[in-house]
Structure 1
Amino acid sequence: MTKPFQPTAETVTPFLFFTGKGGVGKTSTACATAVSLAEEGKRVLIVSTDPASNLQDVFNQEIRYETTKITDVPGLDAINLDPEEAAAAYREKIVGPFRTKLPDVVVNQMEEQLSGACTVEIAAFDEFASILTNKERTSVYDHIIFDTAPTGHTLRLLQLPHAWSDFLEDSTHGASCLGPLSGLAEKKELYTNAVTALANSNQTTLILVSRPDESALNEASRAAIELKEVGLTNQWLLINGVLSQHDENDTISTTLYERQQQALNLKPEHLESIETFILPYVPYELTGLKALKAFLKNDAYVQEDKHTELTIQLPSLNAIIEKVGSKEKGVLLTMGKGGVGKTTIAATLAIGLAEQGHSVHLTTTDPAAHLSYVLTGANVRENLTISSIDPKREVEAYTEEVLAKAGETLDEGGLAYLKEDLSSPCTEEIAVFRAFASIVERASDSFVVIDTAPTGHTLLLLDAAQSYHKEIERSTGEVPESVTKLLPRLRSKEETDVIIVTLPEATPVHEASRLQADLVRANIEPSWWVVNQCFSATTTTDPILSQRALSEQKWIEQVAEKNIPTAVIPWQPNLLTGDGLKVLTK
């Protein structure tokens, strides 16, 4: 049974951790909760460890690492930790001592190994662990709210005894995805106390934020199970953005409502046992105190938006198909966070190129049955082939290969640590990318469309391993020849087109911008941006969705200002399959 989310000082614990996939509304719900508790007269601190944090945008004031008082909210303070800055300091702590002792190429590779998402997360954990366990600091506040909680993977690594041993320093396999934690042995007590506080149900509540859609609910279920395994058992599920009413005469509004209800009725079984709350779908951006106060109370609020119409005209996917199709062959990579529509867009591009007469191979990490369903009814199958890569199977094979090599030198405890280390997102990306590389190598004189491509960090890590693995071994092992050949191809704009997919919302745009910066580090320049699921490109007359369309426009314009060709796709009322995908090119 679900109920409205209206937190009070009597119903919540001293520590609240908001977690969930990008774009579900972690920051806005955390900020609204902080304001609500402060209005009860409580002393509240909100701390963001989210790389895409927009605390300053929500509160309309500058917020940095120093404790900042929120204007017009007595009792509310905020800290905006910079995970990237913390990660840079973490890297220097690990790498610094070796700068004068090892060749530059080796030092550069060490830095790249410590440039992934896992390193950013452990650096952020170091920062909020310092806050969480500082009794002088915590005693000042009745509630401390953290925007973005650590993953179960990070917590499991911190709980393993070998995280604090010296085996990493002695091992020829080098650092883990978090770096040699033995270098931080002096923080063992700090981290242990932090993990203990997280697991204390009287002190801490983990709030799993989701949207009423299948992918977000599946991610919430996965996180709930993973975090419960490491002791975070006091969990709430907060489903944000539920459309409570709709205009029956508006196709867009009716379809969105029905999709949400279906997702809620079919949510993962594990979530049924978690206390669940809902927040309404609101048409306005959650910035400013008036909006935050109205949000949890479900009061009427109309955002004053300067936009009345989109000031620029942007093309559809057809522009990409025509541009890329002028070549004879090439690689297309669709990239972006989960839930932005990469698979649908990749399939549409593949069909469009095949209709031009090109030989096209489409591959994805989604199950083959799903991709087959998306392409059902397409009349171009004779020159369009598809394949699917099972990430689980690829990771298992890759992990087995690495552990087999490591077993020659590591003891049982060391192998346990390495096995956990290999469960990181970095490992999955490398394992899947190797499989992608094999497929691309098989294709010649054709187009290869890859749904879900590796990040710039993974490419740089593979490149470093390829060039320097004889000088310093890394647990990624030998790099296959297919990867060796593919990396230069991906860096060639003549051979490869990278397409970044996003939604017209703050977090997806911020995350896509970081993805672009990540690729540029790897000498890969995106060819296109695609802004997907835009209400502002539809004919909806629903009052809520029409106002939402206005709030989208500044994000569309922000993407367009990057001076990279940009296409816009309307929010689609129909589930698109086969030739129905062609509507996206209009």
Structure 2
Amino acid sequence: MGTAFDPHVMARTPYLFFTGKGGVGKTSTACATAVALADSGKRVLLVSTDPASNLQDVFGMELSNVPVSVGDIPNLYATNLDPVMAAEAYKAKVVEPYRGVLPDSVLATMEEQLSGACTVEIAAFDEFTALLTNEPLKSQYDYILFDTAPTGHTLRLLQLPTAWSGFLNESTHGASCLGPLAGLEAKKELYEQAVMTLSDPALTTLVLVTRPERTPLIEAARASAELQEIGIGNQTLLINGVLHSFTERDSVSTALYERQQYAMEHIPEAIQSLPRYQIPLASFNLTGIESLRHFFNSGQRNATDVPNATGPVSVPALSTLIEGLATDGIRVIFTMGKGGVGKTTVASAIAVGLAERGHRVHLSTTDPAAHLDQIFGEASGMISLSRIDPKVELERYQTEVISQNADSLDEEGLAFLEEDLRSPCTEEIAVFRAFADLVERSQEEIVVIDTAPTGHTLLLLDATQEYHKEVARSSGLIPNSVQQLLPRLRDPKETSVVIVTLAEATPVYEAARLETDLKRAGIPAKWWVINQSFAASGTTDPILKGRAEAEKAWIKQIVEFSSNHAVIIPWEAQEIAGYEQLKILGASKYQ
């Protein structure tokens, strides 16, 4: 089934990437591996490339894009590649050489083109590439570990070297006229070097972190196949959170153990042959260096290590939230939060609950790693389903723009436009257009949107203020759906964000930051959902009871954060799938 994870056995290359579906424990695993290697005398640099990094929460310290020493471990350094900060530096680097040379109006246009989410992504990639190709930096450390973003973003990030290299190789006019691509040609050799480093099994190991559950394992198999396609073949499978025993009279631990065993016996064929390791389920919060040191042998600790929290859990059920949304007449509903907290399941249950109350509902997802169909099944009755597929939207957008300009451009002009539309940034514009069209459906039916993990979601929402400029430049038109999007998102009578979290440190910190960002953008967030709660399950198993007790302090904080607009979903013995199970979940009256 897999051997116990030992960082000293697994770490055979200088570059280690920890990737996987959101919420599987990438950050905890990467941090604990870094601590273990540093404790053994190795010099280690830990890097986060996640737009929604949680390294600072785990270590309890502020981080920046400059490596700093971690705690009292002399050999361990950590850095957080902040995409927004990197984007500002990138923009300045592109624009500053032209100040005093070009007219102010031209400079203003350049700055506008460099203000969208494309620039954020390119800038983050720029720093990521610099780390991979920096020989002096590499010589300072025995290992450089990357705590990467949830799978959809990670694949995008790791594919960028190939995407940019391919685009530059095909380019006949130098850099595209898209502002964010300014100056990329000069770094062509650097990007090719990054591709070689990622593909070299003597330099790079990709650790696919997953949980012993069906959906994360399917996601790991998909990620493995896509990464194999771009040449990253040195992969290891790490199954985190394995319950090695159960309490016979405890239905929760018995069900969890059986579910995990079944999932591990039916691992997708694409990853069956990978080297496989396991980490036992921890009964404690993974914050602080001492907790990280116990992570890989966490089965040796139990509930007695967790202080007892006083009082039972008393939070209303999901049905309270659904009734509140229906009563308030909300037309656009987002589920948001850290990857892996159950946004898709909650969005599906909300959609079913509203449909059961007689409303027409459209349920959709903007997550690049979407698995809506796996949880919901086929559409039923009052509910229709969709997904924003980046590849499909890109092709549709390219065709539309070329068609609109076909009569006004000569052959050379069309060739230049087609080249422009092959840049990786165009995909983001296409997805944004589709997102705006999706929200516009709220005129006819309630739209429930299962959004991508936090970092990607915020980039998508931030784009509402910037991409209309790029859309107008590319096609000459700003659709009505784009013009009306921000007013709709900011109207509390029309839009509501449901923040989904687990009662654990990192998801709660992430959710709190998300709510702050949403408030700054003027987007209302009223309800919080505490999902998969062991504290609400009634378990008596020592390991799970330890987790339950650890949850209670976070549940109390969530109730305060939400001004008593929090609901809770107990850990369920069965994976929620299909209309009937979602209906039961949304109708429960747990208190």
Give TM class, smaller chain: 0.7 to 0.9
The aligned residue for residue 153 of structure 1 is 159
The aligned residue for residue 101 of structure 1 is 104
Cα deviation for residue 492 of structure 1 reads 1.0
Give, in whole Å, the separation in 1 of the partners of 2:415 and 2:311: 61
Q: Is the 8 A contact 1:347 1:362 kept in 2?
A: no
Number of aligned residue pairs:
563
Residue by residue, what CA displacement relative to the aligned partner does 1:174-209 show, whole Å, maximum 9, x if unpaired?
Answer: 34xxx21x3244444443333322222112111121
1:581 equivalent in alignment to 2:582: no
The aligned residue for residue 76 of structure 1 is 76
Q: Is the 8 A contact 1:112 1:457 kept in 2?
A: no
Q: CA RMSD in A?
A: 3.8
Residue by residue, what CA displacement relative to the aligned partner does 1:217-253 show, whole Å, maximum 9, x if unpaired?
Answer: 2332233233223322211121211222222321211
What SS does the corresponding residue of 1:22 show, helix, strand or coil? coil
With normalisation by structure 1, the TM-score equals 0.82
> Aligned in 2, Cα 1:159/1:556: closer, same or farther, shift over 3 Å?
farther
Give, in whole Å, the separation in 2 of the partners of 1:225 and 1:566: 39
Residue by residue, what CA displacement relative to the aligned partner does 1:155-189 show, whole Å, maximum 9, x if unpaired?
Answer: 22232252896947663xx34xxx21x32444444
1:450-529 equivalence runs, <5 A: 450-452=449-451, 455-462=457-464, 464-466=466-468, 469-470=471-472, 473-474=473-474, 478-529=477-528
> Aligned in 2, Cα 1:400/1:22: closer, same or farther, shift over 3 Å?
same
The aligned residue for residue 2 of structure 1 is 2
Q: Is the 8 A contact 1:307 1:553 kept in 2?
A: no
Percent of pairs with identical residues: 42
The aligned residue for residue 281 of structure 2 is 281
Residue by residue, what CA displacement relative to the aligned partner does 1:89-108 show, whole Å, maximum 9, x if unpaired?
Answer: 22343456589723898577
The aligned residue for residue 568 of structure 1 is 568
Give, in whole Å, the separation in 1 of the partners of 2:138 and 2:435: 44
Give, in whole Å, the separation in 2 of the partners of 1:387 and 1:140: 51
1:528-543 equivalence runs, <5 A: 528-543=527-542
Q: Is the 8 A contact 1:239 1:277 kept in 2?
A: yes
Give, in whole Å, the separation in 1 of the partners of 2:545 and 2:119: 41
The aligned residue for residue 168 of structure 2 is 162
The aligned residue for residue 28 of structure 1 is 28
Cα deviation for residue 6 of structure 1 reads 0.9
> Aligned in 2, Cα 1:450/1:76: closer, same or farther, shift over 3 Å?
closer
Q: Is the 8 A contact 1:211 1:240 kept in 2?
A: yes
Q: Is the 8 A contact 2:394 2:430 kept in 1?
A: yes
Give the letter aligned to residue 162 of structure 1. Answer: L
Deviates more, 1:459-468 or 1:68-77: 459-468
> Aligned in 2, Cα 1:540/1:104: closer, same or farther, shift over 3 Å?
farther
Deviates more, 1:54-63 or 1:269-278: 54-63
Deviates more, 1:41-50 or 1:53-62: 53-62
Q: Is the 8 A contact 1:9 1:40 kept in 2?
A: no
Give, in whole Å, the separation in 2 of the partners of 1:108 and 1:317: 45
The aligned residue for residue 294 of structure 2 is 294
> Aligned in 2, Cα 1:72/1:249: closer, same or farther, shift over 3 Å?
same
Cα deviation for residue 43 of structure 1 reads 2.6
Deviates more, 1:449-458 or 1:561-570: 449-458
The aligned residue for residue 321 of structure 1 is 322
Q: Is the 8 A contact 1:51 1:82 kept in 2?
A: yes
What SS does the corresponding residue of 2:240 show, helix, strand or coil? strand
Cα deviation for residue 543 of structure 1 reads 0.9
Deviates more, 1:208-217 or 1:63-72: 63-72
> Aligned in 2, Cα 1:103/1:374: closer, same or farther, shift over 3 Å?
same
Cα deviation for residue 25 of structure 1 reads 1.4
Residue by residue, what CA displacement relative to the aligned partner does 1:295-347 show, whole Å, maximum 9, x if unpaired?
Answer: 22456235854561469843322332333333456333333455433343334
Give, in whole Å, the separation in 2 of the partners of 1:197 and 1:242: 33
Give, in whole Å, the separation in 1 of the partners of 2:211 and 2:458: 28
Cα deviation for residue 545 of structure 1 reads 0.9
The aligned residue for residue 363 of structure 2 is 363
The aligned residue for residue 226 of structure 1 is 226
> Aligned in 2, Cα 1:83/1:397: closer, same or farther, shift over 3 Å?
closer
Give, in whole Å, the separation in 1 of the partners of 2:219 and 2:336: 19
Q: Is the 8 A contact 2:14 2:143 kept in 1?
A: yes
Q: Is the 8 A contact 1:23 1:507 kept in 2?
A: no
1:336-347 equivalence runs, <5 A: 336-347=337-348
Q: Is the 8 A contact 1:162 1:417 kept in 2?
A: no
Give, in whole Å, the separation in 2 of the partners of 1:274 and 1:395: 33
Give the letter aligned to residue 530 of structure 2. Answer: V
With normalisation by structure 2, the TM-score equals 0.81
Give, in whole Å, the separation in 2 of the partners of 1:350 and 1:10: 44
Give the letter aligned to residue 146 of structure 2. Answer: F
Residue by residue, what CA displacement relative to the aligned partner does 1:347-373 show, whole Å, maximum 9, x if unpaired?
Answer: 4334444555x4332322478865764
The aligned residue for residue 349 of structure 2 is 348
Cα deviation for residue 12 of structure 1 reads 1.2
> Aligned in 2, Cα 1:462/1:127: closer, same or farther, shift over 3 Å?
closer
Cα deviation for residue 422 of structure 1 reads 6.0
The aligned residue for residue 547 of structure 2 is 548
Give, in whole Å, the separation in 1 of the partners of 2:274 and 2:505: 29
Give, in whole Å, the separation in 2 of the partners of 1:297 and 1:224: 27
Give, in whole Å, the separation in 1 of the partners of 2:468 and 2:507: 32
Give, in whole Å, the separation in 1 of the partners of 2:431 and 2:185: 29
Q: Is the 8 A contact 2:95 2:107 kept in 1?
A: no
The aligned residue for residue 183 of structure 1 is 183
> Aligned in 2, Cα 1:394/1:57: closer, same or farther, shift over 3 Å?
closer
Give, in whole Å, the separation in 2 of the partners of 1:133 and 1:80: 18
The aligned residue for residue 43 of structure 2 is 43
1:386 equivalent in alignment to 2:384: yes
Give, in whole Å, the separation in 1 of the partners of 2:506 and 2:354: 31
Give, in whole Å, the separation in 2 of the partners of 1:324 and 1:228: 44
The aligned residue for residue 422 of structure 2 is 419
Give, in whole Å, the separation in 1 of the partners of 2:497 and 2:300: 42
What SS does the corresponding residue of 1:247 show, helix, strand or coil? coil
Give the letter aligned to residue 421 of structure 1. Answer: P
Give, in whole Å, the separation in 2 of the partners of 1:321 and 1:104: 49
Q: Is the 8 A contact 2:236 2:275 kept in 1?
A: yes
Q: Is the 8 A contact 1:350 1:360 kept in 2?
A: no
Consecutive unaligned residues in structure 1, runs of 5 or more? none
Cα deviation for residue 47 of structure 1 reads 2.5
> Aligned in 2, Cα 1:481/1:54: closer, same or farther, shift over 3 Å?
closer
Give the letter aligned to residue 332 of structure 1. Answer: I
Cα deviation for residue 493 of structure 1 reads 0.7
Give, in whole Å, the separation in 2 of the partners of 1:21 and 1:567: 25
Which one of the candidate residues 430, 433, 441 is aligned to 2:432?
430
Residue by residue, what CA displacement relative to the aligned partner does 1:20-67 show, whole Å, maximum 9, x if unpaired?
Answer: 233221222122222322343333232333344343443455554444
The aligned residue for residue 559 of structure 1 is 558
Residue by residue, what CA displacement relative to the aligned partner does 1:482-540 show, whole Å, maximum 9, x if unpaired?
Answer: 44445422321112222122222344334444544554454312122212111122211
